[in-house]
């Protein structure tokens, strides 16, 4: 054991690069919602890219180290303190045996990532240490951290403290975001006005935003009239059950679109009017309640270009922090 949880925070979970390959049997990929920041945290402390980190939502935990380590905090601007003294974000620092890591109030973003040299060494389940709380899988007992938990840390010397991510490669978290989407597969169910309203509206994130999905409010969308096909519910937003990709946007009742994230269910009976491109899913994960969002339509070429740009940025991060 190497780390004791004094206070768990609101929803702090062990996450890594995720558990792909089981969505067909209903087990979602899970993993850090902001993979870029999670990777940065691991690089800063000299961990392997797939080492497990802590994802802290809106609030930081209070942790006591029972051995020396190198630590880094990235993602949301959640200022760390070590023994009450401020520590930087996006920069690794040393902790000594007995040190207590705590956090100030969140300044921007939604999820901070804590990496510790050696990584959090919880059991690997289906190829990943990520917590999928709805399925009680992975992490610490398949759940968020609780006070009194003891977290094992893997053996590693880690990087020397003082590694830093250059300013240009640090994520920022504006109050308004533009999130790129590819429309479909069910946008034909919206009227022309409904489709336009979806792309024109300024959507505001509600408090119903967690690892499963992010629910927004801001407009009511009109659906085309139809006779419900056999197997579909009677609401105009219902379809015959279909698989849901991560990032897909369903709109129950034509109000409150929900962007599904990495702990989502694998299928269901709501239209998906579009899907957030993979390159922008980190930004969704860093959205906190009251953040406004516009969904911007891109085509497949645009989505692939964004994916290449993201891959370049990840490579730049690896180069800069190595």
Partner 1 sequence: MDIRSPLPGVFYRRPSPESDPFVEPGSPVGPDTVVALVEVMKQFFEVQAGTSGTIATVAVADADMVDAGQILFTVHQS
Residue number, 60 or 274, with CB nearest to partner 1? 60
Cα angle value 184/185/190 (rounded, 5°): 65
207 binds partner 1 (CB under 8 A): yes
Residue number, 45 or 288, with CB nearest to partner 1? 288
The token pair at 206 is: 């509600």
CB of 187 to partner 1, least distance (A): 28
10 binds partner 1 (CB under 8 A): yes
* CA dihedral (256, 262, 268, 269) positive or negative: positive
Report the alpha-carbon distance of residue 65 to residue 198 in Å, rounded: 48
Assign 240 to helix, strand or coil.
Answer: strand
Assign 307 to helix, strand or coil.
Answer: helix
Report the alpha-carbon distance of residue 229 to residue 235 in Å, rounded: 11
Residue number, 130 or 238, with CB nearest to partner 1? 130
Site for partner 1 in 49-68 (CB under 8 A): 57-59
Residue number, 6 or 208, with CB nearest to partner 1? 208
Interface pick for partner 1 out of 246, 288, 298, 317 (rule CB under 8 A): 288
Residue number, 66 or 210, with CB nearest to partner 1? 210
Contact call for residues 130 and 46 (beta carbons, < 8 A): no
DSSP line for 173-213: --SEEEEEEEE-SSGGGB-HHHHHHHHHS-EEEEEEESSSE
**Closest listed residue to residue 91, CA positions, set 77, 105, 106:** 77
Contact call for residues 270 and 238 (beta carbons, < 8 A): yes
Peptide bond into 185 cis (omega under 30): yes
Interface pick for partner 1 out of 147, 290, 304, 308 (rule CB under 8 A): 290
Residue number, 205 or 221, with CB nearest to partner 1? 205
Interface pick for partner 1 out of 45, 153, 209, 279 (rule CB under 8 A): 209
Binding track, positions 21-50, relative to partner 1; x by CB under 8 A: ------------------------------
172 binds partner 1 (CB under 8 A): no
210 binds partner 1 (CB under 8 A): yes
Residue number, 157 or 290, with CB nearest to partner 1? 290
Q: How many residues does the chain have?
A: 322
Site for partner 1 in 79-108 (CB under 8 A): 105-107
Residue number, 204 or 308, with CB nearest to partner 1? 204
Report the alpha-carbon distance of residue 139 to residue 145 in Å, rounded: 9
300-321 vs 35-45: helix crossing angle, rounded to 10: 20
Region from 19-27, 160-168, 180-188, 201-209 binding partner 1, contact rule CB under 8 A: 201-209
Binding track, positions 103-122, relative to partner 1; x by CB under 8 A: --xxx---------------
Assign 53 to helix, strand or coil.
Answer: strand
174 binds partner 1 (CB under 8 A): no
Residue with tokens 């009450």: 84
CB of 310 to partner 1, least distance (A): 27
Which residues contact partner 1 by CB under 8 A?
Answer: 10-11, 57-59, 105-107, 207-210, 288-290
């Amino acid at each position: 054991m190497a780390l004791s949880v004094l206070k768990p925070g609101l929803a702090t979970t062990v996450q890594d690069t995720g558990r792909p390959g089981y969505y067909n049997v209903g087990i979602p990929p899970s993993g850090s919602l902001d993979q870029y920041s999670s990777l940065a945290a691991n690089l800063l402390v000299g961990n392997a890219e797939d080492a497990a980190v802590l994802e802290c939502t809106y609030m930081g935990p209070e942790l006591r180290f029972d051995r020396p380590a190198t630590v880094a905090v990235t993602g949301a601007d959640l200022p760390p303190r070590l023994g009450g003294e401020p520590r930087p974000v996006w920069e690794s620092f040393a902790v000594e045996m007995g040190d207590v890591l705590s956090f100030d109030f969140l300044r921007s973003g939604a999820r901070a990532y804590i990496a510790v040299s050696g990584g959090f060494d919880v059991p690997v389940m289906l190829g990943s240490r990520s917590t999928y709380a709805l399925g009680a899988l992975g992490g610490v007992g398949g759940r968020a951290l609780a006070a009194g938990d003891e977290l094992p840390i893997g053996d590693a010397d880690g990087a020397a403290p003082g590694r830093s991510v250059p300013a240009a490669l640090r994520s920022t978290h504006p109050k308004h975001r533009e999130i790129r989407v590819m429309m479909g597969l069910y946008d034909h169910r919206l009227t022309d006005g409904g489709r336009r309203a979806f792309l024109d509206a300024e959507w505001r994130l509600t408090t119903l935003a967690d690892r499963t999905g992010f629910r927004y409010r801001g407009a009511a969308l009109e659906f085309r009239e139809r006779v419900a096909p056999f197997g579909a519910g009677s609401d105009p937003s219902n379809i015959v059950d279909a698989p849901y990709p991560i990032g897909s946007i369903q709109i129950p009742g034509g109000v409150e679109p929900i962007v599904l994230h990495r702990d989502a269910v694998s299928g269901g009976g709501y239209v998906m009017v579009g899907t957030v491109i993979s390159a922008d899913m980190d930004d969704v994960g860093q959205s906190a309640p009251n953040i406004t969002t516009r969904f911007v339509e891109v085509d497949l070429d645009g989505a692939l270009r964004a994916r290449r740009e993201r891959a370049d940025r990840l490579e730049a991060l690896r180069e800069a922090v190595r």
